[in-house]
Structure 1
Amino acid sequence: MKTKYLKPQPLVKQSYQHLKRRLFDRKSLILSEQLPYQVIAHFDKATVRHYPAKHHQQQRIPLVLVAPLAVKMAIYDLFPYRSLVRYLTDSGFDIYLIDWGQLNRNDADLDFNYFVFQALPALIKDIKQYTDCDEISLQGWSMAGIFCLLYAASGLDQGIRNLLIFASPIDAYASGRIGLGYQLANRLIEQSPLSLQQILLLKHLPNRIIHSPGKLNALGFKLLNPLGILQGHLQLLKRLSNLEDVKSHATLGDFLNDMIDYPGAINRDMLLWIWLKNPLNQGKFSYKGRTLDINNIKSSLLIGAGDSDGMVTPASVQPLTHLTSSQDVCFKLIPGGHMGLMCSQASSIQFWPFLTNWLEQRSMISQHH
């Protein structure tokens, strides 16, 4: 007697095909970075991407987005239907995105001095020359927010009309358990003998030793929200029959799995000068012979914090509201965690319209301070 086999159900077969494609042909599923751009400037490995405005009904000053290290530029153009740069260009803004490039161990010595006082001034100068405009709006998120804040405080550029700082630790000690940990660590280090302090502060370790590769950075970000990562995989299994859901999972996975190196010198600078010493909360920053005063900043200021950001909490970001000389300061809670505030669906619905409205009111070419 012959055994009668059941034909595979269409959905089961479809799910199998999608799973196979997700596992073995994931690149074909990725939806990010589809918006065209032109590279208009270089500085070592860094480039400036120009995303032109979809329309120019009104002449506006350039909007410069400074990317943090480690992340791929995909976060700014994650999906065709949910892309920050697409939203901004559709709203009439010319976007200039500073991409630091594929850093590796050969870049281990790059520090604050390089990014804030060499690369950033050169790239912004190129943007101003390209646009023939002396003023810009300057936005930085996470570590890039620190870069932008220090650059603005340096007085090197009097043409920053609008400064936008998102999810950057101003009072590092106020950043939840992470901040308390750094505060305790700094207290213990300061109470230690000087010779031990030198060891604990990694001052004698070569930058290549404390350089962190992209794979390690990716793991670190995942460990911030392991439950969310697991839930994402479970949702994929439930929705394998839907190709769009599979594409979404592949796109997010590509972004989270393929991060870029942190130079060892910047790891040291962030650890010592931002998290452990926590100087920004006092409004001043002394670094390698430079003293920067945040009170020098007079730009219109939009400060954003992720409402569920466990790494840089709103309480850590908010002190910036009273440290500058700006007469136009706005603090805004943004839906999402440390990354989600830049690209989540909730952020795109609730925050992006506010962002464009805030910029529109302050970006006309004819406006003057």
Structure 2
Amino acid sequence: MDLVPLRSVPGAGLLPAPDQVVAAASNVAQKVLYGGIADLRPMPRTLIDDGTLREVYHYRPAGHVKEQGDPILLVTPLAAPSSCYDLRRGCSLVEHFVTEGRPTYLVEYGEVSFRDRNLGMEHWIDEVVPTAIREVSAHAGGRPVHVIGWSLGGIFSLLTLADERSGDLPVASLTVVGSPIDITQVPLLAPFRPLLNFFNGKGPITKGYQVLGGAPKPLVKWAFQLTAFQKMVTKPIALATHIDDREFLAQIEAVDHFTANMIAYPGRTFGQLYHRFAKGNQLATGTFELDDRTIDLSRIDVPVLVFAGSTDGIAPVGAVRAVVPMLTKAQEVRFEIVPGGHLGMLTGRAARRTTWLVMDEWISQWSTDNRPASPIGTSRKRKHSSAASRSLAK
């Protein structure tokens, strides 16, 4: 039986119900005796390919389910640990896919050090993501891959599929989760944009990442926490009022663990992101200048699913939605607004009945057995989806 928290019981006053007292005592005891409530065991996986800041893993199939169908590749954003997709047992996108019998893979980058300071975005767009896609397809018997990228992982995936140098990658569909395209629509950055442009590339931020060789872990962690400053301030009160809610406490623990394991940015990549995204807002034009070429998002011809979080402060709805009209050659474009902030929309408790279910539907729709007969990597006539304006936010 679900426990009814004190805060929702009419006329309960200040006295908790007996079952709430028992639940709260049990939660406190487990926290004290065992160090936590959340089951943070990562899903078992096997390394199938590696290179410079590139590790590709295959998650082992669940013992009671036969693995079948097209593979899924989860693209990790820079600076974030891969636990974004595998937050905790019972609230893990990886666990969800594996228990459904879907072949599930992930690419992550390992620890970034000072020696990696000269690696730029082209390393991920030219090398890491394309290689991961090809390796996953080969490991899955040559099947096309459903690519899912969260945050910067989604931007890297978009740029990879739009880049002429990537060639014909074996991609069945692309899902982009919480990836900001138009930075002018991010309120968090609005007060700082005039200041960033004032320094014209010679300010303290530029000098800082050049000296440090990138953005160090503590700074990345602080920046992520700053986006949820209000939640940080009210966290003690929330914990006290939800002390009997095991799921709530477990989720808080898992997010804390995720945040504590942030990874540094390589210097050159951080510089490109800072100057071209935060200051230049290049992607809002639909194109991106990289080395000696221009990457045009309109070249993407695979089906694209785009998610925005209804309360996302890092990638607000407008900043994410901006990519939709740019995908003029995609076979289908579907846009969904789902509950949650930047991480919550991907792996929050509500994501289990919103984001994940839409992903399941999308992957099934564009799996090898169900997709229209047309070769991967060639231009297709775009099908305008009636789902483009659909919203799951409550």
The residue number in structure 2 matching 1:5 is none
What is the aligned counterpart of 2:347 among 343, 347, 351?
343
Alpha-carbon offset, residue 252 of structure 1 = 2.6
8 Å CA contact 2:178–2:307 kept in 1: the answer is: yes
Correspondence 1:274 to 2:254? no
Counterparts of 1:192-203 in structure 2, within 5 Å, are 197-200=200-203
Per-residue CA shift, 1:129-151, capped at 9, x if unaligned? Answer: 21222521111111111111110
What is the aligned counterpart of 2:228 among 225, 228, 231?
225
The residue number in structure 1 matching 2:377 is none
Alpha-carbon offset, residue 332 of structure 1 = 0.7
Letter aligned with residue 66 of structure 1:
V
The residue number in structure 2 matching 1:261 is 264
Correspondence 1:236 to 2:239? yes
3-state SS of paired residue (1:254): helix
The residue number in structure 2 matching 1:6 is none
The residue number in structure 2 matching 1:100 is 109
Extract unaligned runs of 5+ from structure 1.
1-8, 190-196
Correspondence 1:44 to 2:47? no
C-alpha distance 124-199 of structure 1, shift in aligned 2 (>3 A): same
The residue number in structure 2 matching 1:302 is 305
8 Å CA contact 1:274–1:280 kept in 2: the answer is: yes
What is the aligned counterpart of 1:137 among 126, 146, 150?
146
The residue number in structure 2 matching 1:161 is 172
Per-residue CA shift, 1:207-248, capped at 9, x if unaligned? Answer: 452622222211211111122134333333455577776554
TM-score with structure 2 setting the length: 0.79
3-state SS of paired residue (1:360): helix
8 Å CA contact 2:188–2:227 kept in 1: the answer is: no
Q: Percent identity?
A: 23
Q: Pairwise CA RMSD of aligned residues?
A: 2.9
3-state SS of paired residue (2:215): coil
Per-residue CA shift, 1:242-265, capped at 9, x if unaligned? Answer: 777655443332222221112222
3-state SS of paired residue (2:212): helix
3-state SS of paired residue (2:322): helix
| In structure 1, distance between residues paired with 2:244 and 2:59 | 35
3-state SS of paired residue (2:346): helix
C-alpha distance 188-243 of structure 1, shift in aligned 2 (>3 A): closer
| In structure 2, distance between residues paired with 1:269 and 1:206 | 11
| In structure 1, distance between residues paired with 2:187 and 2:242 | 35
The residue number in structure 1 matching 2:72 is 63
| In structure 1, distance between residues paired with 2:231 and 2:304 | 32
* Range moving further from structure 2, 29-38 or 11-20: 11-20
Per-residue CA shift, 1:86-144, capped at 9, x if unaligned? Answer: 11222332111111112233322222011111222222222222122252111111111
The residue number in structure 2 matching 1:3 is none
| In structure 1, distance between residues paired with 2:216 and 2:353 | 34
The residue number in structure 2 matching 1:170 is 181
Correspondence 1:352 to 2:356? yes
Letter aligned with residue 354 of structure 2:
Q
Correspondence 1:291 to 2:294? yes
* Range moving further from structure 2, 205-214 or 358-367: 205-214
| In structure 2, distance between residues paired with 1:366 and 1:317 | 28
8 Å CA contact 1:18–1:241 kept in 2: the answer is: no
| In structure 2, distance between residues paired with 1:92 and 1:304 | 23
The residue number in structure 1 matching 2:131 is 122
| In structure 2, distance between residues paired with 1:347 and 1:72 | 19
8 Å CA contact 2:126–2:160 kept in 1: the answer is: yes
| In structure 1, distance between residues paired with 2:24 and 2:330 | 60
C-alpha distance 105-271 of structure 1, shift in aligned 2 (>3 A): same
Per-residue CA shift, 1:261-281, capped at 9, x if unaligned? Answer: 122222111111222212222
Letter aligned with residue 360 of structure 1:
S
The residue number in structure 2 matching 1:4 is none
Alpha-carbon offset, residue 313 of structure 1 = 1.1
Alpha-carbon offset, residue 29 of structure 1 = 4.8
8 Å CA contact 1:32–1:74 kept in 2: the answer is: no
| In structure 2, distance between residues paired with 1:314 and 1:141 | 14
TM-score with structure 1 setting the length: 0.84
8 Å CA contact 1:215–1:258 kept in 2: the answer is: no
Alpha-carbon offset, residue 185 of structure 1 = 4.6
8 Å CA contact 2:209–2:271 kept in 1: the answer is: no
| In structure 1, distance between residues paired with 2:351 and 2:246 | 24
3-state SS of paired residue (1:176): coil
What is the aligned counterpart of 1:332 among 320, 331, 336?
336
C-alpha distance 93-204 of structure 1, shift in aligned 2 (>3 A): same
8 Å CA contact 1:29–1:251 kept in 2: the answer is: no
8 Å CA contact 1:232–1:249 kept in 2: the answer is: no
8 Å CA contact 1:61–1:365 kept in 2: the answer is: no
C-alpha distance 100-333 of structure 1, shift in aligned 2 (>3 A): same
